[in-house]
């Protein structure tokens, strides 16, 4: 079977196993891709979409808005051809020496500094956070201070320490968001959500 045939069959199986459960079409695409990526149907229950968030993300991508991720793995998982066709840059600052130095000097995580770097771009961005809750905590601080308002926040860090709490802060904020409530998530889920958005605008393998 060709790769696209495998994916199409997988998506059909997922839709069948979801039964009568339905979301708005633009959200359904994201739910199915997260399940496809993880083989975990819990994403049918834990994905939370703020009103108009998906449309906000789609419009941002059509304008070529930069995607900033908190891990190189998430950045690597985003479809480069589709992003390039839309003029979308994919950036991750975690490996920057300046970020490492700043984090060490201030006694904070590199992920937190990366959020500051994203804000310093001075342009609209979509944030895709799949690993570091401290990225969401720092983002929340900056939003509270009126310093940074992303076009869309994809908040899906995975783990145990501050993961649930950081997601709840984003869920209670006015920023457009797609959040995997609870402990589950990961860089692969962050990339899957980005791809589900990109593919609704333009798909190129």
Q: Which residues are catalytic?
A: 36
8 A C-beta contact, residue 133 and residue 42: no
Q: Residue 125 phi/psi, 5° resolution? A: -140, 155
C-alpha span between 199 and 50 (Å, rounded): 20
Between the CA of residue 76 and those of 19, 92, 182, 194, 198, what are the distances in Å? 33, 10, 24, 11, 14
Q: In DSSP terms, which residues pair with 47 in a beta bridge?
A: 180
Helix (H) or strand (E) holding 127: strand 125-129
């Amino acid at each position: 079977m060709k790769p696209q045939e495998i994916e199409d069959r997988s998506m059909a199986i997922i839709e069948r196993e979801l039964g009568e459960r339905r979301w708005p079409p633009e959200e359904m695409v994201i739910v199915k891709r997260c399940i496809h990526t993880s083989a975990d149907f819990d994403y049918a229950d834990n994905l939370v979409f703020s009103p108009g968030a998906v449309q906000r993300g789609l419009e941002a991508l059509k304008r070529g808005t930069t995607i900033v991720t908190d891990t190189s793995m998430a950045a690597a998982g985003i479809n480069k051809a589709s992003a390039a066709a839309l003029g979308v840059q994919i950036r991750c600052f975690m490996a920057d020496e300046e970020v490492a130095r700043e984090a060490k000097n201030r006694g904070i995580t590199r992920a937190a500094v990366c959020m500051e770097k994203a804000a310093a771009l001075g342009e609209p961005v979509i944030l895709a956070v799949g690993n570091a809750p401290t990225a969401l905590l720092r983002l929340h601080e900056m939003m509270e201070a009126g310093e940074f308002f992303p076009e869309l926040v994809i908040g899906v860090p995975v783990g145990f320490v501050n993961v649930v709490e950081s997601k709840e802060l984003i869920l209670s904020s006015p920023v457009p968001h797609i959040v995997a409530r609870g402990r589950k998530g990961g860089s692969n889920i962050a990339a899957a959500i980005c791809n589900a958005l990109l593919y609704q605008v333009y798909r190129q393998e």
